[in-house]
Amino acid sequence: MDYSDSRILLSSQREGNESRFRTWVSMVVPLAAILFQFFLPRFFDFLRFVEMPFLVVVYFALVRRSQINGLLVGALVGLAQDSLSKHPLGMFGIVKTLVGYFAASVGLRIDVDHAMVRLVLTFFFYIFHQVLYWVMVRALLSQPMDLEPQRTALLALLNAVIGVALFHFLDKLRERA
Amino acid sequence: MESLLNRYRNITVLLLVIAAQLILLAVQVKNNRDIPFVRAWTVTAVTPIASVVEWFRGGSSGFLHNYVFLRDADAENRRLREEVGRLKMDNIFLRNELSQADRARALQVFQSTTQSKTLAARTIGAGSGSGSKTIYVDRGSVEGVQRGMAVVTPDGIVGKVIASYPTASEVLLVSDPDFAAGVVSQKNQARGTLKGQGNGPCKVDYVPIEEKVEVGEWFYTSGDDRIFPRGFPVGVVTAVHEGQPFKEIQVEPSGLQHGVEDMLIILSGVHQEIPDTPPGNQPVYIAPAPPDATRTTGAADAGGAPAAASGATAPATEADRLRAHYKALGDAQNHVFGENLPGQKPPNFNLALPAGGVQAPVKQNAGQPPVKQNGAPPPTLPDGAATPPKPAASPAKPAGTPAKSPALPPGGGGR
């Protein structure tokens, strides 16, 4: 069977390279993402749409190709984000846990080093993240919250574009196993 | 058994983590209580870093700003020094105005004049989550900030503290959909509840349709919510629609119009009266003319000028004096300003006038009431001007319009 270099689907789990990060990268990058969300909208309100913690969770889950790792990073980042929001603890935590788990599951089967694949996945997971959060706010908290499909799709696209650039930068920090 | 656990290990961990968070969520929702220590850990971990980042940002931007502007500052200073000297007198008034406009100073003045006990705070971060209208300020429980305290600026209310941590506090802005405060309209005393709408103006709910509310009218805090003391400005009405069973009122919150950089947290609120006039239209105390003008008036009166008798007073401002001077020059040369065709010879503005030739052309309205002060003491001038002397030529005090300000001289002071 002839495999081309641009093949996207992986035939086995071993075929994908699991990426490792230095300990400080694993700690500093999520913290920086939280700080970004906390600090930057104060000066650049238009950057409020950038879901940096979400992008970091997706990235670590995709490239580490470990479902447990992905869901734990998602849970921790989500809980930290919850702590800085007015909502009860666990809302972002549950959503990002699921995002981390499913992103890692996809990373096991698809070569996520393709920029286009990353774009599509980030777009998809952003919409999943927003819809799940909307469902939880309405179902668990019984609070009104609007979900505008067109706006969500546009924000998903913008976050996906920013995510591809961010992932390219974060790739420099990883070391192949 | 072991192989079974290994096989379903991932999904088991996922379910455990989700279940743990669901339980955490359920405990909070059911008891309507927060898990304070988890939030305190995160906020205590994040806010010092944010403060350091803010310190570096302010320092580096200040350094760059000063460096760029100081490179040729010495030469520029020499060039400007002469110009500054000439313009200094004219600039006094403008500098006073600018310093009045300085928000930090305004905040300080407001803090010193308000009866409520307040604590100055500064924004250090924005709340997380899309659509969230919360901010973090650099004052926490160590400084006495508690959950539920009101946050205001001289322009109006900003929000309320929804969480207090040792080093920082979270403030829910008035524009947040979860925000609510009791308000009352200024003119007709219509009571309602202010609510945020996420973006743009806020709305005032629960105002019965029979109540009268006008566009342009101001809303003030009513004090009913036990958070905001009565009498703080809230915003101006931008739209009123008839609804069922309540009016639909849009209010532009005045406290957010200039950003939320510096603010005051009300540690101990004191209710105050709602002003008679909107904040932007409240009368400004203007001090009487300086002693020089008084002497000029005295000289004019001594020279037999009928100014005082006809109700005219001394020109009180530089513009009045200039106008009087040019009018006298025109009169001396039979020149009527504004009625000469282009190309005609202008009057000689260097003509020497006889002593006492400049008389006050500004006619004082005998029925003009003094400036009203709403019962409040006159604000201190930015340069700390002393109490103005009593003018020599006081206009007649109109009946039935007593001066409310104790600082105003009896029967005078207004222009």
Return the residue matching tokens 């999520």.
A30
* Residue range B134-276 in CATH 3.40.640.10: no
- CB-nearest to A84 from B10, B17, B127 is B127
A-chain CB neighbours of B24 within 8 Å are: 88-90, 93
Give pLDDT, residue B376: 40
Helix H segments across chain A?
23-39, 52-64, 67-83, 91-109, 115-139, 149-171
- CB-nearest to B29 from A79, A83, A141 is A141
**Cβ pair A30, A53 in contact under 8 A:** yes
pTM attached to this predicted model: 0.53
Alpha-carbon distance B276 to B291, whole Å? 33
Give pLDDT, residue A15: 52
List, in sequence order, every residue forming a beta bridge with B191; answer none if it has no partner.
Answer: B184
Give pLDDT, residue B31: 76
Q: Which residues lie below 8 Å from residue B312, measured CB to CB, with a gap of 6+?
A: B306, B359, B360, B361, B362, B363, B364
Dihedral-angle region of residue B37 (phi above 0 means left; psi in -120 to 50 means alpha; beta otherwise): alpha
Token pair, residue B186, equals: 């200024």
Token pair, residue A162, equals: 């920013």
- CB-nearest to B46 from A49, A84, A101 is A84
Q: Which residues lie below 8 Å from residue B390, measured CB to CB, with a gap of 6+?
A: B288, B409, B412
User: Where exactly are the structural domains of chain B?
Assistant: 134-276, 283-340+347-415
- What is the second-level CATH architecture of the domain A22-38+48-176? Orthogonal Bundle (1.10)
**Cβ pair B145, B164 in contact under 8 A:** yes
A38–B29 CB contact, under 8 Å: no
Q: Which amino acid is at A133?
A: Y
In Å, how far is B321's CA from the nearest CA of chain A?
Answer: 48
Give pLDDT, residue B298: 46
Token pair, residue A93, equals: 């935590």
ipTM score for this prediction: 0.83
Given a cut of 80, is residue A117 above it in pLDDT? yes
**Residues B292-322 pLDDT 10s:** 555 544 444 444 444 444 444 555 677 778 8
How many residues can be counted in chain A?
177
Alpha-carbon distance B296 to B360, whole Å? 10
Give pLDDT, residue B413: 36
